[in-house]
Amino acid sequence: MRILIVEDDEILGQGLEAGLAMSGFTTDWVETMGDADAALRTGAFAALVLDVMLPDGTGHDLLALMRGRGDRTPVLLLTALDSLSDRVRGLDGGADDHLGKPFELAEVAARLRALARRGGAHAAAVLSHGAIVLDPARLSATMAGRPVALSRREFSILHALMEHPGKIVSRLQLEDRIYGFSSGVESNAVEVHIHNLRQKFGRETIATVRGLGYRLGGEAP
């Protein structure tokens, strides 16, 4: 389950990232509303952990943007402002749950699992391309019915390509998908993962479009 953490406090952000990873979640962590908006536009997340106070806006502002464009990703709002009026404002503004600071990581994880169960109607659809089937909810892939073991980053790249069948996905978009918006990027990481995916699914599965990026299916013309 892939979670986007939006928290500008470095200690708290690192703690959430590490704690949720230990609970079995895949996490991306960003520190600003702008980076969070960019992440949501380029990737699919099971839920958001969203701080209210951010350097370039508020969690309420991001919620308004999301819901205004039809993004129904479940949101767990975190805030030190935990009065009744604050909770009502967050929930009425589009949040699905609210948790006051300080909090326990175990409760954050439990609330995210509950959001995922309640948000099943919005769960990412199973994707298919020829003999390849990708299930984002289960983080599983099959080829002609046989399971194929993928690393997290291989899965993320294949997911990005299968979300846009036949369309070119740039290297920068793939880097954003596999590294999130807070990690250093290795210079040849995308090429390495594309090579591994071709080894597992066949060279013709992913085409390189020179100077532009990659797309599913066949050699580029």
- Check whether residue 26 and residue 116 sit in a common domain: yes
Residue range 197-219: mean pLDDT, rounded = 89
pTM exceeds 0.85:
no
Determine, yes or no, domain membership for 103: yes
Q: Could you tell me the pLDDT band of residue 120, with boundaries at 50, 70 and 90?
A: low
Residue range 109-118: mean pLDDT, rounded = 87
- Check whether residue 77 and residue 139 sit in a common domain: no
What does the pLDDT read at residue 220? Answer: 40
Last residue of a domain, one of 122, 137, 158: 122
- Check whether residue 96 and residue 136 sit in a common domain: no
Determine, yes or no, domain membership for 118: yes
Q: How confident is the model over 160-175, as pLDDT tens digits? A: 899 888 899 998 888 8
Is 75:118 a contact under the CB 8 Å cutoff? no
- Check whether residue 212 and residue 134 sit in a common domain: yes
- Check whether residue 104 and residue 6 sit in a common domain: yes
Domain coverage including residue 91: 2-122
Structure token digits, residue 33: 């509303």
Determine, yes or no, domain membership for 101: yes
Q: Which helix (H) or strand (E) holds 209?
A: strand 206-209
Q: How confident is the model over 55-90, as pLDDT tens digits? A: 999 999 999 988 888 788 899 999 887 778 888 888
